[in-house]
Structure 1
Amino acid sequence: MKTNQWAMIAYITIIGWIIAFVKSKEERTSLVSYHLEQALGLAIASIVWSIAVGIVIAILPAALSGVLSIAGFLPFIFMIFGIINANNGVQKPIPVIGKMFENKFAFLQA
């Protein structure tokens, strides 16, 4: 597989991340390492985001919880940005949260 394909697969659920991590181990480039890092950061941020939105929805009245339910799609939108960047072969961070996860996971460095 091409390296940008491994980078794209990394964004598709945590199972896709594990597959990309294991299968690209021998021929990992800086592009794959970068997107593995971004995808792992996105997965962690998505879990935190889901918990936070769930708590707020439980507290707020039903009318406002509908608006916050739409906010649950934010991690999906960020995932699409990551996949597009990986497909184009660029090492561009995910909007808003991507900079927080650059060079944070030393075990992923090529």
Structure 2
Amino acid sequence: MNQEIIEEGKMMSVVAYLTIIGSIIALITNNDKKNPFVAFHVRQGLGLCLTYLLLGYFIGSFNSWAISIGFWIGFGVLFFYGLIGAITGKMNEVPLLGPLYQKIFSNIGK
């Protein structure tokens, strides 16, 4: 992938990590251009957002600050890792879950 494609898609790649709405906006705006850099980060951001919402529902039922803070810190690190990758123009999968997101959402961006 050349540098021009990466530079063109940096903004939408960053938006993909900003909540579920940001992921949907990046997905919709990338439908016309089909930028592979943006598609990669949309898959990562959408996967993180959906996993966060799904697990957060169950983590909230424990009613424990220790569990909740560990959950927030863990997902905060994953979001930050993906966001830094999008800003620097790298296609690094987020640790642990990144390959799964790329497989599940493989039809996004094609």
Q: TM-score normalised to the size of structure 1?
A: 0.81
Structure 2 CA distance for aligned equivalents of residues 102 and 70 of structure 1: 27
Identity, % of aligned positions: 25
What are the residue-to-residue correspondences of 1:1-110 with 2, within 5 Å?
2-57=8-63, 65-73=64-72, 74-110=74-110
Aligned length: 103
- Pair member with larger Rg: 1
Structure 1 CA distance for aligned equivalents of residues 93 and 54 of structure 2: 19
Secondary structure, in 3 states, of the residue corresponding to 2:57? helix
Structure 1 CA distance for aligned equivalents of residues 29 and 78 of structure 2: 24
Runs of 4+ aligned residues of structure 1 deviating over 3 Å after TM superposition are: none
The alignment yields a C-alpha RMSD, in angstroms, of: 1.8
> What is the CA distance between 1:14 and its match in structure 2?
1.2
